[in-house]
Amino acid sequence: MMQSLLEILIPTYNRKNYLRDTLEALTAPESPVRNLSITILDNASTDGTSQLVQEYKSKYPNIKHIRRNQNVGGNANIARAFEEATHEYFWILADDDSYDWSCWREVEQAIHDKTGLIVVNRELLPKEKQAFQPAELMRLLTFCPAAIHRKDTLSPDILMNIYYNTHNWFPHLGAVCAAINKKLSIKVISDNIVLTGKNDNHAGLEYHRKSAEIAYPYKMQFFEVGYLKSLAMLQDSSIRYRACERFLGREKSFWCAVQETFKVNLIEYKNNFQNYSSATLPMSFWQKIRFWTAIIYNHLLFVLLYPKYLKKINKFKQKLKANHEK
């Protein structure tokens, strides 16, 4: 029954070893998704990914392979997954995560109940709380595999939002915000089914790798800024402002969260002013006042602590140079 209702799509690029482990987990005898349609969206990999997928296709006819002619970047490949989905429900997975199927029956029940959005990861949520407001889920759902989507929630306009949001790092939040805007039902599964992958591929420099020719505004934008800009797609201002208040999802004050953003922007992104101005887009008037007050304060603090910051900036430049040479 699930085969006709749910499918899996996996964007990937040059991650053959991680992808092999993922396919092993998904097709294992104990996996409840082993018979679902599994589509690999290969971003023109050059490491033998195609051969690996062909190997699995020969053993599992439910596995499909869509290979791009050129690498268009991970975010655009995620957006493509929304376009390629054909089943009533679809689940976009990463190529390096792990799984625990203990609560899978809850997913099947949510699908039978025609739930609008099914949340299958709780890593950033309090374990004791069962019901969550949409604003409380936004930071968690930056992790693309955390949500199973319903195909009929996507319209041409929503697909445009998804593609538009690729430069903000989170194209999938276009679909999440659409579900929230339409006030669709949301089911949070009682325990993690998918867990974020842990590997050293990024080495803390994921937004700087191979970015020499990316346009300056996009190259200099980072996680927190892209996330805040994505929140602008939330139509209900009360939800949007609450999501901003919880921004970064950290158990810190709004002031401390802004301070962390300032440090990252100063040390790693050349104190790009646009990261400050664009980050305030979804905020309320008073949130903007507090944000800019914190930014001004931190600039004054920077003057007093210049030698300390200079040391951190130089250390980061050395790390970045070593990464590019490697």
Give the per-residue pLDDT at 36: 95
The predicted model gives 79-104 an average pLDDT of 93
User: What gap in Å lies between CA 191 and CA 177, rounded to an integer?
Assistant: 23
Least confident of 115-119, 152-156, 177-181, 218-222: 218-222
Q: What percent of the chain has pLDDT over 90?
A: 58
Q: Is the pLDDT of residue 323 over 90?
A: no
Task: For residue 138, report the phi and psi dihedrals to the nearest 5 degrees.
Answer: -60, -50
What digits encode the pLDDT tens for the residues 290-319?
999 999 999 999 999 888 888 888 888 888
What digits encode the pLDDT tens for the residues 186-229?
999 999 999 887 655 544 555 554 556 677 777 788 888 999 99
Least confident of 33-42, 238-247, 317-326: 317-326
What digits encode the pLDDT tens for the residues 124-148?
888 777 788 899 999 999 999 999 9
Report the DSSP pairing between strands 194-195 and 98-99. Answer: antiparallel
Q: Is the pLDDT of residue 282 over 70?
A: yes
Q: Which residues contact 154 (CB under 8 A, 6 or more apart)?
A: 82, 85, 162, 175, 178
Pick the CATH number of 2-195 from 2.120.10.30, 3.40.50.2300, 3.30.750.24, 3.90.550.10: 3.90.550.10
From 145, 202, 201, select the one nearest 170 (Cα to Cα): 145
Give the per-residue pLDDT at 45: 87
User: What gap in Å lies between CA 196 and CA 203, rounded to an integer?
Assistant: 15
More confident residue, 40 or 260: 40
User: What gap in Å lies between CA 162 and CA 229, rounded to an integer?
Assistant: 13
Six token digits for residue 219? 């190259």
Q: What is the mean pLDDT of the chain?
A: 88
Angle between helices 306-325 and 254-268 (to 10 degrees): 60
Cβ contact 248:260 at 8 Å: yes
Give the per-residue pLDDT at 127: 77
More confident residue, 206 or 62: 62
Residues of the chain with CATH 3.90.550.10: 2-195
Q: Is the pLDDT of residue 110 over 60?
A: yes
The predicted model gives 6-35 an average pLDDT of 92
Helices (H) and strands (E) in the chain, counts: 15, 9
User: What gap in Å lies between CA 224 and CA 248, rounded to an integer?
Assistant: 6
Give the per-residue pLDDT at 237: 95
The predicted model gives 250-276 an average pLDDT of 85
Q: Is the pLDDT of residue 274 over 70?
A: yes
Full strand arrangement of the beta sheet holding 63-67: 63-67, 37-42, 6-12, 89-92, 147-150, 117-119, 186-188
Q: Is the pLDDT of residue 284 over 90?
A: yes
Q: Cα 311 to chain center, whole Å?
A: 31
The predicted model gives 246-253 an average pLDDT of 68
Give the per-residue pLDDT at 218: 76
Helices (H), 113-253: 134-137, 156-164, 173-181, 216-219, 223-230, 237-245
The predicted model gives 75-103 an average pLDDT of 93
Can you give the pTM of this predicted structure?
A: 0.89
The predicted model gives 242-247 an average pLDDT of 87
- Please report which helix (H) or strand (E) contains residue 12, including its range: strand 6-12
From 253, 323, 322, 315, select the one nearest 290 (Cα to Cα): 253
